[in-house]
Amino acid sequence: MSTNVPKSTQRESKRVLVVDDEPRIIGFIRMNLELEGHQVIEAHTSLEALEAVRTKLPDIVLLDVMLPDMDGFETLRMLREFSDIPVIMLTAKGEENDRVYGLELGADDYITKPFGPRELSSRIKAVLRRYDTSTKSPEEAVLRVDDRLSVDFNRREVIVNGEHIKLRPTEYRLLYHLIQNAGWTVPHDQLLAKVWGYEYRDEAHYVRLYVNYLREKIEEDPSHPKYILTERGVGYRFVDFRNGVQ
């Protein structure tokens, strides 16, 4: 009788780096993730975490904000200098400023303590899905919007006035869905479902935040955008560049 693990289980098993100095929290996370078939790697300080990302090659990082040697935000800043690995921040603080700050530094999501196993699992799956799911590119490998802006779908970057600017996975997926619907207003809830997943249906601020990130990268004047337009109370519309319609 074959003892091979089913392919679906193999695909779902991931190496998860948990960075926290509280044994109780690490034990809780380890127990629940191992029940789902994941391998858990522990780090108790920022320096241990940075070394583990380099040497143990995890698939995702759960990073606590409060660490003994330096805070999680500074750790994330250093991590982003050499790695694009998905990161979920663990924080006991529920303030909007902390969440926004983490996302601005390159976190992919956050979980506020205390959290349950179902929320932990769904957030990990959603973030990994954004990284693992390969979005089909349009027919053009490089899409020319106008003389100033082009989008390279193979390299997942924008070219602004000849400068190549990398897009993070979430930024790429958001821009992709807006461009796919150029000239049409895409509602907030549709963008959340397509880019983040159904689990994020109540997180409308994610859309606003990442639209702002994209505007900072592609707009000449982000406060007066000409590519990604706001349809108040509804959603966002990418300019209908093919037909020259604003």
Q: Average pLDDT per run of 10 along the chain, which is 246 residues long? A: 42 88 94 95 96 94 93 92 90 72 85 91 88 56 90 89 90 90 90 81 85 95 96 92 62
The C-alpha atoms of residue 21 and residue 206 are separated, in whole angstroms, by 29
- Say whether both 180 and 124 belong to one domain: no
Confirm whether 6 is domain-assigned: no
Predicted confidence at residue 8, as pLDDT, reads 40
Residues 126 and 23 occupy one common structural domain: yes
Give pLDDT, residue 138.
53
Q: Name the domain count of the chain.
A: 2
Q: Does residue 90 share a domain with residue 118?
A: yes
Residue 4 falls inside a structural domain = no
Same-domain check for residues 98 and 198: no
Query: For helices 96-105 and 72-79, what crossing angle results, to 10°?
Result: 20
**Which CATH number belongs to the domain containing residue 57 in this structure?**
3.40.50.2300
In this structure, are 64 and 84 located in the same domain? yes
Q: Are residues 159 and 89 in the same domain?
A: no
At 133 the pLDDT is: 55
The domain of 146 spans: 142-238
Burial class of residue 167 (count of CB atoms within 10 Å of its CB; 0-12, 13-18, 19+): buried
Tell me, yes or no, whether 121 and 156 share the same domain: no
pTM greater than 0.85 (yes/no): no
Give the pLDDT confidence score for residue 2 in this predicted structure.
Answer: 41
Find the Cα–Cα–Cα–Cα dihedral 83, 121, 6, 133, rounded to 10°: -50
pLDDT recorded at residue 158: 94
Residue among 160, 186, 159, 161 nearest 174 (CA): 186
Q: Are residues 33 and 74 in the same domain?
A: yes
Q: Residue 6: its pLDDT value, please?
A: 41
Say how many CA atoms lie within 13 Å of 29 toward its Cβ: 29
Asked if residue 5 is part of any domain, the answer here is: no
